[in-house]
Every structure is written in structure tokens, then in C-alpha cells.
Structure 1
Amino acid sequence: MKKAVILDRDGTINVEKDYLYRIEDFVFEKGVIEGLKILKDMGYVFVVVTNQSGIARGYYTEEDVEILNTHIQEILDCEGIHIEKVYYCPHHPEKGIGKYRVKCKCRKPQTGMLDQAVEELDLDRKNSFMIGDNISDVKAGINAGMIPILVTTGHGSEHIEEIDKMGVKYFHSLEEFARSLLRKK
């Protein structure tokens, strides 16, 4: 079994922009590449799990999301960082249109995407982290039996008080988290 860092995308890997789907609007959060390199050297594999309700709302298509995700993976590959797989949830229970208006098991804080990653990629839940900038990411990690971490990038700073009450650790960036983990070794 592999130990993994499972990452939210928007607000964690890239700068939060409402309903991001265009390559020209993509910008990495500060320290993401550096943090991923540290974690890679520590033996972690990477998976991305992202809610994409913009598909459900009709703002963009699944193909648009796949194009952007491929672009991100290509940049990271050039940096020597490999994403094992990207999972996305195209649903929204209230604001979805047509087939996308469903209450699914994949939309975080549900664990469908994380469970699928564990099964398909032989991941070790107890030694894997779920990192994101939203309370739904933290809850998904907890619900999936992983170690939840909040980053205060994106929407993360809005959730610090709630996270403190839950006893979940938070960091100002992915790089700060990676460096803290490295110091523990």
C-alpha cells in the first residue's frame, strides 16, 4: 500500500478563481511545486480530488475540466512531479442541470472520490493526507479515515475557527505543510 497526499485542486493547488476551467486563468498557489517536491522525496504519491459544480451548473463541460487537468499534470510532469490520477465530481444536488442534479457519493465531504482512489491505486488510508482549503475537504478526509489538513490559501482562512474546534491542523501553504512533515522525520 502506498502513502498518498490527496489534494483538492482549486484554492489548494491553484489560486482560487470562481469556476476555473480556462488554461489562461490558471495560476499555481505559491509554494505548491516546492511542497510537492518535498513530499515526493518523502515517498508520497499524489492524487487530486475536486468538486466541479461548474459542470453541473452548465458553466463549462467535463471536457473543459479534463483539458485543464491535463495542462496542470503536464506542467507538474516537467517539474518531476507525477499526479497518479485526478478525480472530479461534476454534480450538484440543488443547482445542477439535467443528469448532473443528483445527490451523489463523490461530492466532498462525501468520500466517493477518495474511496475510489484508495481502491484503484492501493493507497494506505491511515498514512495518507487529505489536503484542501475548504471545510468539505477536511470533512472528506475525516470521513475517509485519512489525516485531514487545511491550507489557508483559497478559502482556507475562512475556516480556521471551525478547524481549531475540530482539532485539525492548518498551514499557510502546501510548502509549509511539507516542511513541517520533513522536520518530523
Structure 2
Amino acid sequence: MKEEIIITQGKYIASAVRADQYPEGDLPEVVFIGRSNVGKSSLINSLSRVGGLARVSGTPGKTQTINFYELSAKIPSIEERRSFFLVDLPGYGYAKTGQANRKVWAKFIEEYLLKSPRLQFVCQLIDIRHDPMKSDIEMFNWLVENNLPVLIIATKADKLSKNAVQKQVKQIKKVLGVPDLDVLPYSSVKSEGRSDLLDVISTVLVE
């Protein structure tokens, strides 16, 4: 049986709206992006196993900063522990946010994604209960066009039966137009998909 990567610590580090506010150092970064209310905060809490590390809000569009969380991991076959940042980006596609605000967010999110030298890959979260929306498709295409490695995480998988999950995963691939795309179903409630996501993260930490 394969040994699992173990998260030994998780802590909030910083919130930023400009590059000079990003944490210093060279820790690798795994980025989370998705529509408002797709479950980013719940996934971060599930992954870190630190309750309340990321604040879960009932108000869509609440996260307006780039939030950095530092996690430490014990990886099988490696003696010293490895640390990395989980980076939580503001949710996109929330209509009630003013257009001027949206433009400002879009600019600093784009700048971060294109210029961070530590970024390893982007986890784009999509609610498994629905087909990808226009903003999801636009974001996915933008990431691909800019050569950013992207893993699609289909959140809220506990809301569907196993058959429905498989069906929706195929549908997400079809809508995004990439039949061989990696799509990882995830349930923050049941921690399903957690070990798979940690496996992906551990490969970039070991490289």
C-alpha cells in the first residue's frame, strides 16, 4: 500500500493586493481559483485539516485579496519536511461586484498568475453539479493559452451519486473541449479526493 503524504502544519501567512505584499522566499505555490461560492475555502480547510484556516463565507465574492497559506508536508521517502503555499485567489463571475472592482481584481490576479516565479500549477474549481459556466470556460482557456498547468477540481462531489459524478466528469471534459483532461472529483465534507490531490502536490514538491 502506498504511503500517503501527511500535512503536518497549516497557517495563514498574508493577504495581498499588490506584488510587494506577497510573502518573501521561494516556497512553491499551488493556486486555487474558481467562481464565487464554488468551495475554495472549504477545500483549503479540508486539505490542511485545520478548521477555519480559510474563512468560509456565505456571501459570494467576499474574498477580494490573494490569500497565502503555508502548509508543511511529510513526504514518504524524503527525510526533511517540505513546505509550500496554497494561494487562494478571489472568486470570479460574481455579478453583483461592481465592474470597476472586477477590472481591478482581474488585473492583479492576471499579474500574479503570469509573473509569480514560484507557481507550480493552478487548481481550477468547478461545481460538479453544473456544467462549466461561461466564466469557467473563459478562465480555463486563458490558463491554457498562457501555458499555466491546470488541474480541474470538481467540487461538492458528495452531492451526487457515484454514477452521476462519473457522468458529470465526462460532461466537464466535453464542455471544456479536452477529452483527456485531468478532472479530480472532490468532497470537502467527506475528504474524498484529498489523497489524490496531495499526491499531485507531492510530485511538484519532490521535483
TM range (shorter): 0.3 to 0.5
TM-score if structure 1 supplies the norm length? 0.46
TM-score if structure 2 supplies the norm length? 0.42
Structure number with greater CO (CA < 8 Å, separation at least 6) is 1
- Greater share of residues in strand: 2
- Greater share of residues in helix: 1
Answer with 1 or 2: which has the greater Rg: 2
